[in-house]
């Protein structure tokens, strides 16, 4: 196990030095924080950092902030703030232990802003690509209530659930994606190499060539002769589609279409509603006003159509309507969910009941994702059967004719 030399400060502010065994730099930092030592500098003993090869390690460091690093940062901030360590010391300690260049730069900027007297939430808002409105607003509430540790704890839990859902979705679509890629590759080989090899044989039939075979030959010749044009048209189509979905009207329409897709539409909808429930519960528990909370929630549900419904709920609440009536008008919630919102609003236990709604949608999403591959398999099998039938009819019918068969 590698040995790391560290330098840090204990709870009394006194500088401490030493060495410890850990698997990674982050592991050493976590161990120091657990021992109430804020790390300032951690270096691998006898490693590249001691031999002047800092440029080599920096070359392999990522400039993107991954989900794991984001979650780890929130978890570390929770532990540090819970231990009562001042924010400047906490950030300075984290800066010394983090190897990601992008996150290290952000921490330096945050530390400089704190030293100029800015609030942590205002500092986070200057990095919207890393810290969204949900993150900033919860940190602001934590600062105002003196419970910043709970804000970071809620954020870490929320991101962990989101990451788990994302991994489940990727796992569910991995097999169908692999099958489609394999089918596309096989179809390309048949179109470019197999059918042209048979074209000489097909030509002997003259006008007697079956229409299925003629269609395959024409398709193969068109693809071979005009494949650059097809690539350009495909690229232009992708660009136009991307630009269209980037507009307000186009994005709203596309997200609405996604909810109506067979098999996967219900999964997209439940994932969005699960995000709504989790996020709204966290914001309500933190004491954020309902209208503000709904506005923030609309930015994180991940579907612009449902986001427009959530914003409509905020408009209704601002006019004095109850949350239950505005939620009922959206027509996106199940009766059971509407009932729980109504009971929570009347009893004052809305965050707790929203947690139950979130758990309900999470279980539904988990079940849907576990069955997604099973539901897609018959569609893939039918698609493969149709392709095989087309190829079989196109290739073998003229061969049977040459052999004296009938068609």
Q: What does the pLDDT average to over 322-337? A: 88
Please identify which residue in the block is written with the tokens 């390690």.
57
In this prediction, residue 239 carries a pLDDT of 95
In this prediction, residue 401 carries a pLDDT of 63
Q: Give the pLDDT confidence of 243-301 residue by residue, as tens digits.
A: 999 898 999 999 999 999 888 888 888 888 888 888 888 888 888 888 888 888 888 88
Crossing angle of helices 101-115 and 87-97, rounded to 10°: 160
In this prediction, residue 242 carries a pLDDT of 93
In this prediction, residue 162 carries a pLDDT of 84
Distance from C-alpha of 180 to C-alpha of 188, rounded to nearest angstrom: 12
Distance from C-alpha of 129 to C-alpha of 390, rounded to nearest angstrom: 49
Among the listed residues 219, 213, 185, the one whose alpha carbon sits nearest the alpha carbon of residue 200: 213
In this prediction, residue 50 carries a pLDDT of 40
Q: Give the pLDDT confidence of 94-124 residue by residue, as tens digits.
A: 877 777 788 888 888 888 888 888 888 888 8
Q: What does the pLDDT average to over 386-394? A: 80
In order of their start, the domains of the chain are 3-131 (no CATH), 162-407 (1.20.81.30)
On average, the pLDDT of the chain sits at 81
Alpha helices, H only, 260-349: 265-285, 290-298, 304-318, 323-330, 335-347
Q: What does the pLDDT average to over 363-369? A: 84
pLDDT-derived band at 158 (thresholds 50, 70, 90) equals: confident
Q: Are 131 and 158 in contact (CB under 8 A)?
A: no
Alpha helices, H only, 190-210: 195-203
In this prediction, residue 49 carries a pLDDT of 42
Share in percent of the chain as helix, strand, coil (round to 5) = 75, 5, 20
In this prediction, residue 1 carries a pLDDT of 57
DSSP-assigned letters across all residues of 177-194: HHHHHHHHHHHHHIIIII
Lowest mean pLDDT segment, chosen from 68-82, 168-182, 203-217? 203-217
pLDDT-derived band at 13 (thresholds 50, 70, 90) equals: low
Q: What does the pLDDT average to over 44-72? A: 56
Q: Give the pLDDT confidence of 180-231 residue by residue, as tens digits.
A: 888 888 888 888 888 887 776 666 666 667 777 788 888 888 988 998 999 9
Among the listed residues 149, 164, 146, 137, the one whose alpha carbon sits nearest the alpha carbon of residue 74: 149
In this prediction, residue 174 carries a pLDDT of 84
The percent of residues in the chain predicted with pLDDT above 90, rounded, is: 10
CB neighbourhood size of 363 (10 A):
12
Among the listed residues 225, 125, 205, the one whose alpha carbon sits nearest the alpha carbon of residue 394: 205
């Amino acid at each position: 196990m590698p040995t790391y030399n560290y330098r840090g400060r204990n709870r009394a502010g006194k500088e401490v030095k030493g060495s410890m065994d850990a698997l990674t730099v982050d592991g050493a930092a976590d161990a120091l924080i657990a021992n109430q030592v804020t790390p300032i500098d951690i270096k691998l003993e006898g490693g590249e950092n001691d031999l002047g090869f800092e440029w080599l390690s920096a070359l392999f460091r990522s400039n993107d902030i991954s989900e794991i690093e984001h979650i780890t940062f929130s978890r570390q901030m929770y532990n540090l703030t819970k231990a009562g360590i001042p924010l400047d010391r906490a950030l300075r300690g984290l800066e010394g232990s983090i190897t990601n260049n992008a996150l290290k730069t952000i921490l330096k900027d945050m530390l400089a802003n704190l030293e100029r007297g800015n609030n942590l939430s205002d500092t986070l808002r200057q990095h919207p690509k890393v810290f969204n409105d949900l993150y900033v607003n919860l940190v602001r509430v934590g600062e105002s209530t003196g419970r910043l540790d709970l804000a970071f704890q809620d954020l870490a839990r929320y991101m962990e659930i989101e990451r788990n859902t994302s991994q489940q979705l990727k796992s569910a679509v991995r097999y169908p994606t692999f099958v489609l890629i394999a089918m596309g590759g096989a179809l390309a080989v048949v179109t470019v190499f197999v059918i042209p090899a048979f074209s000489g044989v097909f030509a002997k039939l003259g006008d007697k060539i079956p229409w299925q075979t003629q269609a395959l030959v024409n398709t193969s010749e068109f693809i071979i002769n005009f494949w650059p044009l097809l690539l350009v048209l495909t690229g232009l189509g992708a660009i136009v589609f991307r630009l269209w979905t980037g507009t307000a009207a186009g994005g709203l329409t596309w997200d609405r279409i996604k909810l109506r897709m067979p098999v996967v539409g219900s999964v997209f909808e439940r994932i969005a509603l699960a995000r709504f429930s989790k996020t709204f519960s966290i914001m309500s528990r933190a004491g954020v006003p309902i209208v503000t909370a709904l506005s923030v929630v609309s930015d994180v549900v991940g579907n612009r159509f449902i986001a427009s419904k959530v914003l409509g709920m905020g408009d209704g609440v601002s006019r004095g309507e109850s949350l239950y009536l505005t939620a009922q008008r959206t027509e996106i919630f199940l009766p059971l969910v509407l009932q729980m919102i109504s009971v929570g609003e009347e009893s004052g236990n809305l965050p707790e009941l929203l947690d139950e709604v979130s758990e309900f949608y999470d279980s539904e999403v988990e079940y849907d994702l576990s069955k997604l591959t099973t539901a897609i398999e018959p569609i893939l099998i039918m698609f493969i059967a149709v392709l095989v039938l087309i190829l079989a009819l196109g290739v073998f019918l003229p061969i049977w004719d040459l052999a004296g068969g009938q068609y």
